[in-house]
Amino acid sequence: MFAGGGVPARAATALPALDHLAATWRNLHDYSVTIVAHEVMGDRSSDHELQYAFRKPHQARLDVIKGTKSGSTILWDGGDRVTAYRRGLSLFKMHGSAHDVDLTSLRGNGILNPDEGDVVACLDAHRDRIVERAGPTVDGDATDELVFSNANISCPDDPASDKDVTLDVIDVSKRTGLVVLRKRYVGKDVVEHWELKDFKIDSGLTDADLH
């Protein structure tokens, strides 16, 4: 009875690379990845190598391999609370917020931020703010690049110190459909640079692997 009486719905923005990333995420059960991260905050900077493991629906482990807080392990089982300890000293555990300054990086990133499911959900919610283009070759992989103009937009896991980020550039492997490089800008300055490599998909992560 309403035919012809309304404004046609606007078609969703076509973003094949985002759809590839979303499909990859939808179909996997668990993954682990090495993250090489560089962050800048004012006149300070930090460099880290991290080992991250995730199993659906909400279980993750983050090991700091190099950099500040090297030797730390953080465990997450959903919600906002985490458990942390120094490797080799697992009897002495700290419990706190996933956003606690002692459990996060220079710019406030922690165990929640590498979750590709949350990245996909945020990007999909703001498709009209994304432009897709050819990306660089990263470790031999051709990529598609998603350029997210996210000034004044906060995704659920974004730390408070990232409120000034104006551009999020995400490179998705054409071969695997996974994020292999992420750069976040404040104006023209790169304040976060994450290289994600050595992915292992559906390796059958167990409770022991994540604790």
Q: Determine the pLDDT at residue 156.
A: 78
Q: Is 117 helix (H, G, I), strand (E, B) or coil?
A: helix
pLDDT tier for residue 92 given thresholds of 50, 70 and 90: confident
Q: Determine the pLDDT at residue 207.
A: 95
Domains (range + CATH), the chain? 16-210 (2.50.20.10)
Instruction: Report which of 197, 206, 146 is spatially closest to residue 176, judged by C-alpha positions.
Output: 197
Long-range contacts of range 85-90, CB-CB < 8 Å, 24 or more positions apart?
Answer: 87/63
Distance CA 48, CA 27 (A): 29
Distance CA 174, CA 154 (A): 27
Q: Determine the pLDDT at residue 90.
A: 65
Instruction: Report which of 3, 36, 63, 2 is spatially closest to residue 192, judged by C-alpha positions.
Output: 36
Distance CA 163, CA 63 (A): 26
Mean of the per-residue pLDDT values of the chain: 90
Per the CB < 8 A criterion, the answer to whether 67 and 51 are in contact is no
Distance CA 161, CA 164 (A): 7
pLDDT tens for 132-175 read 999 999 999 999 999 999 888 888 788 888 889 999 999 999 99
How big is the chain, counted in residues? 211
Would you say residue 64 has pLDDT above 90?
A: yes
Would you say residue 18 has pLDDT above 90?
A: yes
Q: What is the mean pLDDT of residues 9-22?
A: 81
Q: What is the mean pLDDT of residues 35-59?
A: 96
Q: Determine the pLDDT at residue 8.
A: 39
Instruction: Report which of 92, 174, 95 is spatially closest to residue 136, judged by C-alpha positions.
Output: 174
Containing H/E element for 201?
strand 189-201
Which residue bears the tokens 């710019």? 107
Q: Determine the pLDDT at residue 41.
A: 95
Distance CA 57, CA 79 (A): 11
Four-CA torsion 185, 188, 190, 191, nearest 10 degrees: -60
Distance CA 191, CA 174 (A): 25
Distance CA 206, CA 167 (A): 36
Would you say residue 9 has pLDDT above 70?
A: no
Instruction: Report which of 140, 120, 128, 100 is spatially closest to residue 182, judged by C-alpha positions.
Output: 120
Lowest average pLDDT, out of 71-75, 107-111, 198-202, goes to: 107-111
CA angle, corner 170, sides to 199 and 129, nearest 5? 145
pLDDT tier for residue 112 given thresholds of 50, 70 and 90: confident
Would you say residue 5 has pLDDT above 60?
A: no
Would you say residue 12 has pLDDT above 90?
A: no
Would you say residue 191 has pLDDT above 50?
A: yes
Would you say residue 115 has pLDDT above 50?
A: yes
